[in-house]
Amino acid sequence: MDSVAGDQNPGSGVAGRYARALFELAESAQASEATLGELEIFARALHESSDLQRLVTSPLFSSEAQLAALQALLPKFGIGALAGNFLKLLARNRRLFIVESAIASFRALLAQKRGTTVADVVLAEPLNDARASALKVAISQALGKDVTLNTRIDPSLIGGLTVKVGSRMIDTSLKTKLSQLKIALKEVR
């Protein structure tokens, strides 16, 4: 992965360079928050649609096919000119496959500007507002910094969650615990 949220330098790597360029444009237009919101919409759609994932990651699609698909999809997602042009630029340059890393880098750059840290949280099921707030407070206290949560749902975790901040990761998912139990049982035999 080129760059992930929470790295020391979120603008490093190919995805980071694209994200930094977009961030600077968004800052000059005073549209950083709106741009992040639009990128988050695209990221959610990417996670929810296997067809969109295939379009973004498969080398079988030409840049023209990716551009045509984006031209049709972006207005439906409500993605404006700045974020839309960024996504189209990635497609034109045959770099659409780095979009998730670029979004993570953009998120980290914005968090850095705010003086916060990004915590990537993957959950088996959505949190209600009270639990999300409690989780944010707990992570903030553990790090001694204000934290922005970037949540994603992954039902394969079965239960629990994983939290990643920079290079640190805490995995309390039931999937991991079952995997560890399976390994321990194999060693007993």
Domain boundaries, the chain: 13-110, 116-188
Mean pLDDT for the chain overall:
92
Residue 170's φ and ψ, nearest 5 degrees, are -120, 125
Q: What is the pLDDT of residue 10?
A: 73
pLDDT tens for 8-44 read: 467 779 999 999 999 999 999 999 999 999 999 999 9
The gap from C-alpha 118 to its chain's centroid, in whole angstroms, comes to 10
Q: Is the pLDDT of residue 7 over 90?
A: no
Q: Compute the distance between CA of residue 65 and CA of residue 2 in angstroms, rounded to an integer.
A: 25
pTM of the model: 0.77
Q: What is the pLDDT of residue 9?
A: 67
Q: Which residue has the tokens 């790090």?
A: 143
Pairing state between β 117-123 and 161-165: antiparallel
pLDDT tens for 136-147 read: 999 999 989 999
Q: Compute the distance between CA of residue 132 and CA of residue 126 in angstroms, rounded to an integer.
A: 9
Count of Cβ atoms closer than 10 Å to residue 1 Cβ: 10
Q: Which fold has domain 13-110?
A: Peroxidase; domain 1 (1.10.520)
Count of Cβ atoms closer than 10 Å to residue 48 Cβ: 10
Q: Which residues contact 100 (CB under 8 A, 6 or more apart)?
A: 43, 46
pLDDT tens for 62-80 read: 999 999 999 999 999 999 9
